[in-house]
Amino acid sequence: MVCSDSSMVLQAQEEIIEMKDVFSVKLKRRRFVGQKKGFQNRPKSLKVFVNPSSHKREATHVYYEQVAPLFKLADIKTDVTVTEYEGHALSVLKECELQAFDGVVCVGGDGSVSEVAHGLLLKAQIDAGKDTDYIPTPVRAPVPLGVIPAGTTNILAHTLYGIKHAVTATLHIVMGHIQPVDVCTFSTPSKLLRFGFSAMFGFGARTLALAEKHRWMPSSQRKDFAFIKTLADLKPEECELSFLPLQIPQEDSHENDRLNNGSMALIVVQNTSRTEFIKHLKRYASIKNQFNFPFVETYTVQEVKVQPRLKSGLDAKENTYLNAASAEGNYPWNIDGDLMKEASEVHVRVHPQLINLYGVNTDDLESSQATCNCI
């Protein structure tokens, strides 16, 4: 009876296994299988950037508590830079020997990711001997970029993973899931401004410009104040807009919102009443179609040019608004959550599959019947 009891106790102990141990076994199995059949993109060494100021200053905690342990379990070596100022990651990447790494990871929000993506692509142009003031045909980023969501806005991470979840994002990096993504260049006639994924001119840019002038306020209060103030002073922008449309066959029309089809969505909100504009804004937070208004036009395009123009015959108040950021002749742009000011025409071009991101296109997952049998 004693032996029988001992055997039963041993059996019970063996069945109680902590999840971290099971996960470790699975990672090692997949790594071994990946060397022969798949997962060829599994990284062994990563350059990591952590923005400690993201959101509620939680990015450092997210990385060291949730992400770093998984990298360690997967035997991935990391070189970590905790950024100390805006543009720090860009400065490091310009001097970084990227051939020493299999990928780059950014822990932060959309603004941080945009800076790292810009740095990666700018470094690629420098290494290729390109003129960085004029890049009509940029070369691709040499290594993939991983996005760990830890910011106020995490739109790119949600697009890649279908959820704002640091562990999910980390697992995509560990497994080496690669998703080619289109990137835009934003340039004036004389220079490249930056690489980026999205931009706003007009209301969204002026809101950001006003918020940046009140950085002494707490983040949430600053954004709410800027939004309400800009909405109260709402005026139409005077600009000349031209674009090159992308011809999409009718049967492929559902493809126009993908991450890598060589197109971008141009959304033009024309002059309307403040009440109607607010209705349009509210729909961004609902399931209703925010574009189903007579004053909203949408186009699928390859290139866009925006030329700001000063109105003549304005009263003092209108001139104050339209020149709020133009006292020096500059107009605000919101590029991936970062403020840029330019006086001249801005030319936006989309470049197909210019960078690889760790993740998958969630549209593919939703339309696919594929299942996973490895767990």
Check residue 17 and give left, alpha or beta (phi > 0: left; psi -120 to 50: alpha).
Answer: beta
Tokens coding 3: 């032996």
> Angle CA(137)–CA(182)–CA(44) in degrees, nearest 5?
100
Q: Are residues 179 and 203 in the same domain?
A: no
CATH number at residue 272: 2.60.200.40
Domain span at residue 62 reads 45-183+352-361
Q: How far apart are CA 367 and CA 187, in angstroms?
A: 36
Q: Are residues 175 and 203 in the same domain?
A: no
Q: Are residues 54 and 161 in the same domain?
A: yes
Q: Are residues 343 and 235 in the same domain?
A: yes
Instruction: Convert 273-287 to b/e letters by CB count within 10 Å (16 or more is b).
Output: eeeebeebeebeeee
In this predicted structure, what is the pLDDT of residue 258? 63
Q: Are residues 128 and 162 in the same domain?
A: yes
Q: How far apart are CA 213 and CA 341, in angstroms?
A: 13
- For 222-236, how does the pLDDT look when each residue is reduced to its tens digit (9 = 90+)? 889 999 999 999 988
Is residue 237, in this structure, part of any structural domain at all? yes
Average pLDDT, the chain: 79
Q: 354: Cβ–Cβ under 8 A, 6 or more apart, which residues?
A: 121, 138, 140, 141, 181, 182, 183, 195
Domain count, the chain: 2
- For 341-361, how does the pLDDT look when each residue is reduced to its tens digit (9 = 90+)? 888 899 999 999 999 999 876
Q: Are residues 205 and 285 in the same domain?
A: yes
Q: Are residues 177 and 50 in the same domain?
A: yes
Q: Are residues 111 and 53 in the same domain?
A: yes
The answer to whether 43 and 180 have CB atoms below 8 angstroms apart is no
Q: Are residues 176 and 117 in the same domain?
A: yes
Residue 152 is given by DSSP the state S
Is residue 8, in this structure, part of any structural domain at all? no
Is residue 316, in this structure, part of any structural domain at all? no
Q: Among residues 242, 345, 254, which one has the least CA distance to residue 303?
A: 242
pLDDT at 57 over 70: yes
- For 363-375, how does the pLDDT look when each residue is reduced to its tens digit (9 = 90+)? 554 444 444 333 3
pLDDT at 35 over 70: no
- For 181-229, how does the pLDDT look when each residue is reduced to its tens digit (9 = 90+)? 999 999 998 889 999 998 999 999 999 999 889 888 887 788 899 999 9
Is residue 188, in this structure, part of any structural domain at all? no
- For 118-140, how does the pLDDT look when each residue is reduced to its tens digit (9 = 90+)? 999 999 999 999 888 888 899 99
Q: Are residues 71 and 117 in the same domain?
A: yes
Is residue 134, in this structure, part of any structural domain at all? yes
Q: Are residues 334 and 357 in the same domain?
A: no
CATH number at residue 166: 3.40.50.10330
SS3 category, 364: helix
Q: For 54-58, 265-269, 327-331, which range has the lowest pLDDT when averaged over its residues?
A: 327-331
- For 162-174, how does the pLDDT look when each residue is reduced to its tens digit (9 = 90+)? 677 889 889 999 9
Catalytic residue annotation: 110
Q: Which helix (H) or strand (E) holds 203?
A: helix 203-212
Q: Are residues 169 and 209 in the same domain?
A: no
Q: How confident is the model at residue 276 (pLDDT cuts 50, 70, 90)?
A: very high
Beta-strand runs (E) in the chain: 45-50, 77-82, 103-108, 145-149, 178-187, 192-196, 199-201, 239-245, 264-269, 296-308, 331-335, 338-342, 346-358
